[in-house]
Amino acid sequence: MLPLRRTFTLIKITGLIFPLLLALLPTGCSPAKPGSISLNSDLIGVKIYQYSGDRQALLSTWKKLGINTAFIGLELAGQDHFIQEVREAGFKTFLILPVFYNPEKLKNSPELYAITGEGRPAKDDWVEFVCPGNRSYRQEMIDKARKLVAELKPDGLSLDFIRHFVFWEKVYPDSKLDLTQTTCFCPDCLKSFQQDTGINIPPDLSGYPAVPGWILANHRQAWLEWRSRQITSMVEEISRAVRQVNHFLLLNIHLVPWRAADFEGARMAIAGQDINAIFRYVDYLSPMCYAHMLKRPPEWINSVVMDIQQSAPNPVVPSIQVKEAYLTGKLGLQEFDRSLQSALKPPSRGVVFWNWEALAESTQKQDIVRRRVLEFLERRRAEEEKARKQLTVLRAGLRSSPYGARQPFPPIEYWLGAAGDMARRFKGSTPALVWIVSTMERDQSRKEAQVYTPRTRLTFPAPAGNSKQYTNIVFSEEDANEAYLQAFDRAGYKVWLQVEPAMADLPTLIDLIMERYRHHPCVIGFGVDVEWHRWSEQDNEGLAVSDDQARLWLEHLHRWNPSYLLFLKHWEPNKLPPTYRQGLAFIDDSQIFQSLEEMVLEFARWSRWFYPAPVGFQYGYPSDRPWWSRLADPPAEIGRAILSVAPNTSDLFWVDFTMKEIWPDKNKK
């Protein structure tokens, strides 16, 4: 998340700093045109690399064809404010950034060539590739991407040639691919491979193809996984860099058009594109399904889209060719029409035409585009309307804390009514609550400042007859939860018991809380607000949770009930376990958005990061009131928008800071 999200520490208590925070929100954090970042709209795009004609005529033609997105080559994007003019006309804009294909760079720096297992430079016809492991080149491309985004201000960046060397445009159905012709086996890559994997090449072995042959014969899988990480890490590094410039920048990646099993797993083994790893860092996946070029029937295009969608939850938008290339046979109207229909079949979220120069030549193909795109958009509208009526979530309700709701603290009847009403907005959902039972203790000796001690305060008394001293844990004189939990039991509601742990030991907190409340059938699990996990005044943030810690906490929780779940809450994925997922749910409490579109994009990324593990969201913060207050039904409309892009959502919670604005307390005198 943005550094500004750190202000949430103050927001939790005061509620007075929101106008200031909104004024301080960096203008570079969102695109210029509201709604241009939306993932909910289908993408009808065209790649364009050169243009010197009437721009207004061009944009008018695009609108008539139903095109809403332009993928623009770097040379054209920088010409006379071209990209700015396209954006101002209402089109979504992506810069096409070639990553490892760089013949101009290689012409002057041939030492950067990737090296095949045969010992030759990675060059085949016009295809020339830089070594993906070269750190100086990688940094150069990262800096270039950051600079382009800052200067040209596109809506998105489309990563092209971000793979290993292969001339896939001439790989036909009966082709046999040879791993010894892949890259990169340069000395630096071989050295890094050994260092990273602990695999040692025999010292008496040297040269090509001897060393590559030994690796492929003895450590093939380790090599394939290692070289695919070169590609995934480059996607990750570019993603992090450009989103520091514009956090809501959209990212698309061009994929080789191979299904997972094609050519013995060549998508990963040859191209090094591991979709299961890459999808977390991008918003769109775009396979280059040039069926005519690849000697495939048009119907094959949809099979590629379906195969990719099985591996990743992102919108998949295939790119199709408009005109013949490499082969002499013409790409006729009927074949183009069939290709377009195949590209737009479910689960496709649109199409990208390669390229405008070719499409501009044929008014007949433009007529086909206009007709098929209109049919697609009408079908999608009907599908979305039907889907909206069926959207549901496992649990929906409210987040409750001792400090969030305006005092006095609402009675039992209020929570039953409001949480139930929230759940009724999502057909089939069970009413639920995040019930905070421990909070950070305020330092009463420093009332002039918002300062906390290392201790957490439980909202119930110490165990009866127990004289044990608990480090960094203090108790309340009375139980603030028992009567509420009894009511939730009777109503069939579900409750997460959450803590703000401070420096307290988590297993000890689990024991104290579950010993007291495990008899309640409403309790489904335990939650940790990681913002406050081992929080210190010096760092003003909590510590990240490791895989081992998450596993330990879950195992400890299961001693009380093997069916209990554990949720971890934060707004930054890197504060949560990097790989451990079993038995966990991940709650995002992000805020300070300028629009619903920004929130939905952020939550979609959270969903993908932890996919397929269950995720949940807290929303309705005062900092977002300027836009959600204008919605007819904020809890439902925001919730449905989230569910439409986050298929692994298990929990939706409206926060207690503003719940009385949605559900007024009728008993308040």
For the chain, what are the domain ranges? Answer: 39-103+123-171+221-388, 391-662
Query: 381-435 pLDDT, tens per residue?
Result: 999 988 888 899 999 999 999 999 878 899 999 999 999 999 999 999 999 999 9
- C-beta of residue 324 within 8 angstroms of C-beta of residue 330: yes
- What pLDDT sits at residue 362? 97
**Using CB atoms within 10 A of its CB, is residue 203 exposed (0-12), middle (13-18) or buried (19+)?**
exposed
Rounded distance, CA 599 to CA 114, Å? Answer: 41
Query: 298-341 pLDDT, tens per residue?
Result: 999 999 999 999 999 999 999 999 999 999 999 999 999 999 99
> Which two three-digit tokens encode residue 525?
């699990």
- What pLDDT sits at residue 449? 65
- What pLDDT sits at residue 447? 67
- What pLDDT sits at residue 466? 75
- What pLDDT sits at residue 31? 36
pLDDT band, residue 651 (cuts 50/70/90): very high
Mean pLDDT across 42-71? 97
Does domain 391-662 correspond to CATH entry 3.30.1490? no
**Using CB atoms within 10 A of its CB, is residue 281 exposed (0-12), middle (13-18) or buried (19+)?**
buried
- What pLDDT sits at residue 185? 98
Place of tokens 């295809």: 127
- C-beta of residue 527 within 8 angstroms of C-beta of residue 497: yes
Rounded distance, CA 528 to CA 534, Å? Answer: 11
In angstroms, what CA-CA distances link 244 with 149, 314, 335, 412, 656?
10, 22, 43, 45, 31
Mean pLDDT of the chain: 92
**35 C-beta neighbours (distance < 10 Å), count:** 13
pLDDT band, residue 20 (cuts 50/70/90): very low
pLDDT band, residue 541 (cuts 50/70/90): confident
Query: 595-619 pLDDT, tens per residue?
Result: 999 999 999 999 999 999 999 999 9
Assigned CATH topology for domain 39-103+123-171+221-388: TIM Barrel (3.20.20)
97 has a pLDDT exceeding 70: yes
Rounded distance, CA 134 to CA 187, Å? Answer: 11
Query: 5-17 pLDDT, tens per residue?
Result: 433 333 333 333 3
pLDDT band, residue 38 (cuts 50/70/90): low
Residue 478: which of 458, 502, 453, 504 has the closest Cα? 458
- What pLDDT sits at residue 319? 98
Residue 377: which of 61, 22, 584, 68 has the closest Cα? 68
- What pLDDT sits at residue 25? 36
pLDDT band, residue 41 (cuts 50/70/90): confident
257 has a pLDDT exceeding 90: yes
Mean pLDDT across 633-658? 97
pLDDT band, residue 183 (cuts 50/70/90): very high
Rounded distance, CA 608 to CA 602, Å? Answer: 10
Asked if the domains 39-103+123-171+221-388 and 391-662 are classified in one and the same CATH topology, the answer is yes
- What pLDDT sits at residue 146? 98
Mean pLDDT across 64-73? 97
581 has a pLDDT exceeding 50: yes
- What pLDDT sits at residue 446? 67
The percent of residues above 90 in pLDDT, for the chain, comes to 87
